[in-house]
Structures are given as C-alpha cells and as structure tokens.
Structure 1
Amino acid sequence: MIAYDKNLLDNSILLDEAKDLKNAGFISKEQFENIHSQLNHLKTNKNLLVRLGFFLLGCLMYSSICGTLSLTLFQLFQNHLSIIVLIIALVGIIGLEYFSRENYFGHGLDDAYLLGFLLALGVFTGSTFDGSELLITCVISIAAILTYLRYLHLSSALIACLAATATIAYTTFELGVIAKSLLPFIMMLFAVVGYWLSKKSLEKVTNSYYYNGILLTNNYALILFYLAGNYLVVRELSILLLGTEIPKGQDITFAPFFYLFTFLVPLTYIFRALKARNRFMLWIGVLALTFSIYTIRYYYALLPVEIALTAAGMILFFFSFFVIRSIKEKESGITFKIDRFLNSNALANAEILITASQMGMKPTTLDESKIKFGGGGFSGGGSSGNY
C-alpha cells in the first residue's frame, strides 16, 4: 500500500532519531554526519520555509500542466467540463506517484500535487452531483484516508479529519431541525469515538509509519470535543444554523451544562496531561482554558480590559512562581528540569543575557587594534613628548 521504499523510510526514521540525539547532546556532530553519509534516505525538507518555497514551485508546475491540458481538451469536452476537472485530478495523483518513485517525501513539490488532487476531486464531485456538500465531504474523506495510507502525508490525515467532521455535520443537517439542535452532542459523541479508536490504535500500533497520523487524529478529537461543547461556539452556531434570535436576558437551551463544560473540560485536559505526562494534551488544555476565559468575557465583561489583564498576569505569575519552586528539584514525574530533546538554545541565550546584565559584564574586543598607542610619561594623553 505504501508507495515509498520501506528501507528508505526506515533509514529516514533512523536519521530523524539520530538528529534528535545530536540536538540533545548524546552524539556529536561528526557521529551524526557519519550516520547521515552511510544511510540512503528519502528526499525531504525539514525547513518549513524551504518546503513552502518548493510547495509554491509545485503549485506553479501543477497549474501550468493543468492549464495546458485545459486549453488542449476544451474543444473536445466543452460541453462536459467536469471531465476536464477529472483529468486535472488524475494529473495530481500521477504526479504524486512520480514523486514517490523518485523518493520525494514531504519535500514541498509532492505536497502541491496532493492538495491539487484533493481539490480537483472535490470540484469534480460537486460539478457532477449538483453541488451536494454531503457527497463532496464524503468523497474527500475517503480520498484523504487512502492518500494518507499510501503517501503518509500528515496533511492528508488532517484533511481526512476535517472532511469527516463536515460529513457528520452535513448528515445532521439533512435530518431536520431537531437533529440540528442536537449537533453539539452528536459532535461530542463523534469526538469520543474518534479519540477512543485512535488511542486504542496507538497502543496496538506495530507499524511506526502511521504513528504520527494516528497521533494527529487523537489530538484532533480532543480539540473537536472541547469546541463541540464550548458555550460561544454552541451559541453562535445555534443562531447561525437554526436562524433564531436570542433576546436579551435569555439564554440557549442547556446553558448551565455548556457553562460548566467550557471550563471543566480544559481543566480535565490539564490535570490528565500532567498525570500522564502528555505534552500535546497539556498544550491543548492550556489553549482551551484561555479560549474559555475569552468565551465568558465575550458575553460578560465584568472588569475593564486593562484591569482584567493585570489581574490575570499577577495570578499567572504567582502560580508559575510557586509551581516552579515546588518542582524545580524533582528528577522524575512532573519536573522543571530542561528536556534535552527540546531545543533550549533560546533559554540558554536568555540566561546568558540576564547574567551579563546583572553582573555588569562588558563586551571585550576579540582582535587587537592595529593602531598602537603609548608614551605619556609626563601626564600626556597617550603622547611620548618626542617628535
């Protein structure tokens, strides 16, 4: 199923692990370069800016090919433009196959053809079946899953998650007003099922090639579950989808439940993440808690902005201060020790700057000046008193 050479994939995974070890200081730069020279690996770009540049180049290539084909085939299929769109989609999948055979993975060029294929396939489905949103999202979901299983692009996994969510939503819309009113609970159930399935898959996964995609699905389910019950999201979507106005002094149905949900879920994420030492869940929980505070303030501004920000800053400062003091000496569990597998150069540079400013250290010149000063034997300002 996978389009790439398994040996090259394994070597690329080994190189990523070796790079992490080098950045953490476990192996030297020379050892990493020796490993890099001995292993054949896939052609990829870890630098996002370089990858973005190749992605734009791939978009230009793809659009040029599609434009030429469109001009050539327009006379033949001018009454069936959907056929031209289908051919454009086939160009995208053919390009993906070519780049996979040439061992390009996450390079930027292949990303452009992947997104172009999914976009053209969605346009073809919509033009063929009178713009049925449900059918479009369903087709995109299946296509994205298949492309991820074959090409291992995380963008395919993300598109599959988004398209599957849209499929559930459009299916709910087709069932009538009552189903629309239950949409938050349906999305919660969908997120719970997705989280449970992805968690079980992570525990049983034996093929490391799909690990990152399953992990992305797991974290996506956490985000979807929170947003499905967030008070602001539920209230605004109720107004948008049901077309109802909420008069002043009234609230949405089950409002107390959504108020509690908005704050209890982020706190649950944070405590669960600290207990399980799950960094991704911790980030999601902190961001969700921040959005929860914004949600309440959006409707109930109890304090002016400047006072609220000042108070929040003071609370966060003292909370962080006491937590750091309590865990800074711990060697296991929840600790403040630096993770060697994270890039800590910024922290180290900040420590140097702070130390230099506190101790009054001054910069020194590295090279001796070529201009020689001397003399001054009788209170002269650096002169010898001789001609």
Structure 2
Amino acid sequence: MQAYNKLNIENYFLAEEAKKLYRKRFLNKEQLIAICSQLVQLKSNSNIFFRIGFFLLGSFLFSSIISAFAVVLLQIISHDYQIIFFLYAIVAYIGLEVLVKMKFFRHGLDDAFILSSQVSFLIGIGILSESVISVLITMVVLGIFFTIRFINTISALIAYIGLVGIFFNSIVEHDFMPKFYLSFVGLALAVFIYFFVGYLIKNQNLYPYFKTFDTIRIVSLLLGYLSMNYLVVRELSESLMELTITNASDVPFAIVFYILTFFIPLLYIFWGIKWKDKLVLYSGLLTLVFGFFSIRYYYNILPIEFVMVFSGIFLFGLAYLIIQKLKNKTEGVTFKPDRDLDNSLLFNAQAVLSFVNVATPTEDQTNSMEFGGGGFSGGGAGEKF
C-alpha cells in the first residue's frame, strides 16, 4: 500500500534517529556523517521554511500545468465542468507518483501535489453532487488513502476534519439528534480517536506514522477541550439553537461547562506530568490560558492591568515552588535541561547583548596638527607682531 520502497523508508528514519542522538550528544559529528553516508537518503527537507518554499514552488508548477490543460479543455467541454477538476486530480496524482519514483519524501514539492490532488477531486465531487455530506465522506476516504500510501500528515488532518464534519453536519443539518448534544458528541469523538491512535502507537511496525499520530493526538486534545469550553458552547448555542442569553439566563447546564473549562486543562497538565508526555502537558497549558480568556470574555471582573499583575505574581510563585520541588530530582520530570535542547540561539543572543553593552572608546577629536603660528597647517601668522 505504501508508495515508497520499504528499505528507503527504513533508511530515512534510521538517519532521523541518528540525528536525534547527535542532538542529544550521544553521537559525535563524525559518527553521524559515517552513518548517513551508509544509508540511501530520500530527498526531504527537515527545515520547515524550505519545505514551505518548495510547497509554494510545487503549487506554482501544478497551476502552470493545469493552466495549459485548461486552454485546451475549455474549448472542448461546454458543460459538465466538474470533469475538468477530476482531470486535474488525475494529473496531480500522476505527478505525485513521479515525484515518489524520484525519491521525494516530505520535501515540499510532493506536499503540493498531494494537497492539489485531493482539493481538485473534492471540488469535482462538490460540483457533481452539490451535497456537503458527500464532500465530507470523500475527505475521509481520500485523506486515509493518502495518509497510508504517502505517509502524509496533511492528509490525516483532512480526513480528521471530514470525520468531524460528518457528525457536525448530521446533527445540525439533518437533525440526527438534538443540537444540544453536539458538544458531548465532539468530546466522545475526540476521546475515541485519541485512545485509538494511542493504541496504534504501541505497534512499532507503524513507526513511519508516529509523527502523524502525534499530530492527531494534539488535534484530539484540542477538539475535546473546545467541545466543552464555555465560550465555544455559548457561541454555538446562540448561533445554532437561536438562544438569547442575557445576564439573567445562561446556556443549559452552564455550571458543567464552567467547571470543565478549567478542569480539562488541569487534567491535561496532570496527565502530561504523570505520563511524561510533553504534547499533553503543553496542550494543558495552552487550553488553560484559553479557559481564562473564555471566562474573562463575558465577565470583566477586574481591569486588565490588575489581572496581568496578579497573574504574574501567581505564575512566579508557582514556578518557584515547582523549581524547588524538581531541582534535586535526577529522573522522571526534572528541572534539568533536555539533552536535545538547542541553546545556540540563547548563547548567540547573550553574545549580542554583551557586545552591545561593551563601552566603546570615544574618538579623540583633537588634531595633532596645530593651526596658527604659520606652520605646515597653513594657519597663518602667529600672535606676535
């Protein structure tokens, strides 16, 4: 099912693991070069900015190709324009397979053709069926296919959005169940996907998809929280259920959403520390900040300057207590920096600041060549008659 040669994929991930060991200082540079030279490398970009640049280049290349096709096809086809988009999808897929044969993997060019193929096919389905549910189902099918075959995270996100959209559309547009349960369905779906992906991660044979699984886990954590967040629930209730909420009224079961707005982030933080999982921990911190914003959006209790001062004092005290608790630990969650932490940017910033603060010597403005007295400087006659 995978488009790439199994040996090439193994070599790619072996090289990636070697680079991780090098960053953690388990390998020196000579050992890293020796390992990478023995492995057949796929054409990839680990730098996100280079990858985005090649993605834009690939998108421009694809647009140039379909523009040439459009000049011919628009003269032949007078109706049923959805056929053109299906042809575009086929062209993008053929170009993608060519790039795979040329050993492009997570390079940027292949990402452009992966996304273009799916988007073109979805536009064709949308024009042909004029049905949102058909497009969402196609998103799930295409996303899963491209994720498995090309080990692509963007396709996994497309499938995820399609799956969530199916449930959302079924409840909102087709009255599959009362709209009030939409939040609970979102939470249940997020929990199911998170633990299903956690089960797949235990299978070491699926190691090429581990980064994709991590992305799906993060999205599931955010979906589960946003489904129970008070701000999101209130805004959806006003727009979908046409509720009018005043100071004397609130959304149904408002106390539940008030509690879960803060309880879920704290639960994420607790799990992140207990399981030593950075993704869960960072998701907890991010959602906790959004939780405070959600409540303050409706209830402006204190001026913003007081909130910032009190928040700073609280965070400083909390950080101090945590540092005191962890500074003597040598295993598990500690206060020691990670071995793969790149401190070069910090050191460069310190060097720049030190250079700026160095007192530069003032230039001597006095001229060694004295004017006056009729000397070489041409100053004219002296002061004596």
TM-score, normalization: structure 1? 0.88
The answer to whether 1:183 aligns with 2:220 is no
Paired residue for 1:104? 104
Residue identity matched to 1:214: F
| Preserved contact between residue 171 and residue 177 of structure 2 (Cα < 8 Å) | no
Paired residue for 1:368? none
- Please list every run of at least 4 consecutive aligned residues from structure 1 whose deviation after the TM superposition is greater than 3 angstroms: 346-354, 361-364
Give the CA deviation at 1:349. Answer: 5.1
Distance 1:275 1:259 in 2: 25
Residue identity matched to 2:168: A
TM-score, normalization: structure 2? 0.89
Residue identity matched to 1:305: I
Distance 2:224 2:271 in 1: 15
Distance 1:351 1:314 in 2: 26
Paired residue for 1:55? 55
Would the alpha carbon gap of residues 335 and 350 (structure 1) be closer, same or farther in structure 2, given more than 3 Å must change? farther
Distance 1:350 1:320 in 2: 24
Paired residue for 2:89? 89
Distance 2:344 2:171 in 1: 49
* 1:135-169 deviations in Å (ceiling 9; x for gaps): 11110111011001000011111221122111211
| Preserved contact between residue 205 and residue 211 of structure 1 (Cα < 8 Å) | no
* 1:300-354 deviations in Å (ceiling 9; x for gaps): 1111001101110111011111211221121011101111123233345567789
| Preserved contact between residue 125 and residue 134 of structure 2 (Cα < 8 Å) | yes
Distance 2:37 2:210 in 1: 26
Distance 1:42 1:186 in 2: 41
Unaligned runs of 5+ in 2: 361-385
Residue identity matched to 2:82: S
SS at match of 2:205: coil
Give the CA deviation at 1:363. Answer: 8.7
Structure with the greater alpha carbon radius of gyration: 2
| Preserved contact between residue 55 and residue 111 of structure 1 (Cα < 8 Å) | yes
Equivalent positions of 1:342-381 (< 5 A) are 342-348=341-347
Distance 1:261 1:322 in 2: 26
Distance 2:336 2:116 in 1: 45
* 1:239-266 deviations in Å (ceiling 9; x for gaps): 1222332233210011000000100000
**Aligned residues with identical type, % of pairs:** 35
Paired residue for 1:305? 304
Paired residue for 1:333? 332
Give the CA deviation at 1:19. Answer: 1.0
Residue identity matched to 1:134: I
| Preserved contact between residue 122 and residue 140 of structure 1 (Cα < 8 Å) | yes
Would the alpha carbon gap of residues 63 and 353 (structure 1) be closer, same or farther in structure 2, given more than 3 Å must change? closer
SS at match of 1:74: helix
Paired residue for 2:5? 5
Paired residue for 1:375? none
Equivalent positions of 1:110-259 (< 5 A) are 110-130=110-130, 132-176=131-175, 179-259=178-258
Equivalent positions of 1:22-101 (< 5 A) are 22-101=22-101
* 1:9-50 deviations in Å (ceiling 9; x for gaps): 111111111111112222111221222222111100111111
Paired residue for 1:384? none
Larger displacement relative to structure 2 (339-348 or 149-158) = 339-348
Larger displacement relative to structure 2 (115-124 or 210-219) = 210-219
* 1:225-250 deviations in Å (ceiling 9; x for gaps): 11101000011011122233223321
Paired residue for 1:16? 16
Paired residue for 2:278? 279
Paired residue for 1:376? none
Residue identity matched to 1:328: K
Would the alpha carbon gap of residues 204 and 74 (structure 1) be closer, same or farther in structure 2, given more than 3 Å must change? same
SS at match of 1:302: coil
Distance 1:256 1:115 in 2: 42
Paired residue for 1:371? none
Residue identity matched to 1:103: K
Give the CA deviation at 1:205. Answer: 4.2
Would the alpha carbon gap of residues 363 and 93 (structure 1) be closer, same or farther in structure 2, given more than 3 Å must change? farther
| Preserved contact between residue 177 and residue 242 of structure 1 (Cα < 8 Å) | no
Distance 1:230 1:107 in 2: 37
How many residues align? The count is: 361
Would the alpha carbon gap of residues 191 and 311 (structure 1) be closer, same or farther in structure 2, given more than 3 Å must change? same
Distance 2:39 2:59 in 1: 31
Distance 2:146 2:107 in 1: 16
Distance 1:249 1:349 in 2: 56
Residue identity matched to 1:37: S
Give the CA deviation at 1:206. Answer: 2.4
Residue identity matched to 2:17: E
